[in-house]
Amino acid sequence: MKKISRLEQDMMVEVEVRKVTWLFLNHSRRVEDWQRGVDALDAHRREIRHSPISKWVRFYVVTWKEDLLIRMGRLEEALLESNRSLRLPASSYARINEARRRTTILRGLGRPTEAFQAAMTGLRRCARTEDVDSSQGLILEIVRLGSVAYLDELAAKYGKLVAAAVRLPNQVQLIGPEPAETPIQALKALREAMTTK
């Protein structure tokens, strides 16, 4: 078999990821299409199984399938897909999104401790990559799932990230336009906003 260059490999991966994303989008709009989407993603995974780029595309197949399973309320199956995704190569951004999905699944299955751990894994990755936008959903999950006592530790470890995230429009809408002076004040305001809703 002819060895392909890194550039060719990257281009092939990009084309396949677009195909997989199209399969997901094409089957995600209507409830009656969700199972067909799961089947189409499974078929695509089998089709590219022996491709030299298969390992780079499987993460996207698995996570889009996971998303459809969450929508169908099949959380145990979605968790199996999430477990598979942990062993597959992916970008930091894709990993952060997977941490959010995994948190949703585990919270839905009534496993708050594991959901909290999944959200913290994602937040640590956000801190390393300085991804403020992606951190806001994870911060909300951590505030929802963690104890009030943990807020101090969260503010101490991730204060810079929290301070930036609470200035984003979604957070301002949740806690109000009055800016919090410190990360701990912002976290307490988020917690209060979430418990009064």
The pLDDT tens digits for 84-111 are: 999 999 889 999 999 999 999 999 999 9
**What is the full DSSP assignment across 96-136?**
HHHHHHHHHHHHHTT-HHHHHHHHHHHHHHHHHHT-HHHHH
pLDDT of amino acid 34: 96
Q: How much is the pLDDT for 180?
A: 66
pLDDT tens digit string along 171-187? 666 666 566 678 888 88
The reported pLDDT for the residue numbered 174 is 63
pLDDT tens per residue, range 110-131: 999 999 999 999 999 999 999 9
Which tokens belong to 173? 């809408």
pLDDT tens figures, 24-49: 999 999 999 999 999 999 999 999 99
Q: What is the rounded CA–CA span in Å between residue 165 and residue 137? A: 9
Over pLDDT 70: what percentage of the chain? Answer: 92
DSSP string computed for 58-100:
HHHHHHHHHHHHHHTT-HHHHHHHHHHHTTS---HHHHHHHHH
Is residue 1 pLDDT above 60, yes or no? no
Q: Give the C-alpha separation, 143 to 177, whole Å.
A: 19
pLDDT at 58 over 90: yes
Encode pLDDT of 143-162 as tens digits: 888 877 788 888 889 888 88
Does the pLDDT value for residue 197 go beyond 60?
no
> Over 90: is that where the pLDDT of 191 sits?
no
pLDDT band at 2 (very low <50, low <70, confident <90, very high): low
Write down the pLDDT at residue 3: 73
Phi, psi of 149 (to 5 degrees): -60, -30
Burial environment of residue 7 by CB neighbours within 10 A (0 to 12, 13 to 18, 19 or more):
exposed
At residue 146, the pLDDT reads: 82
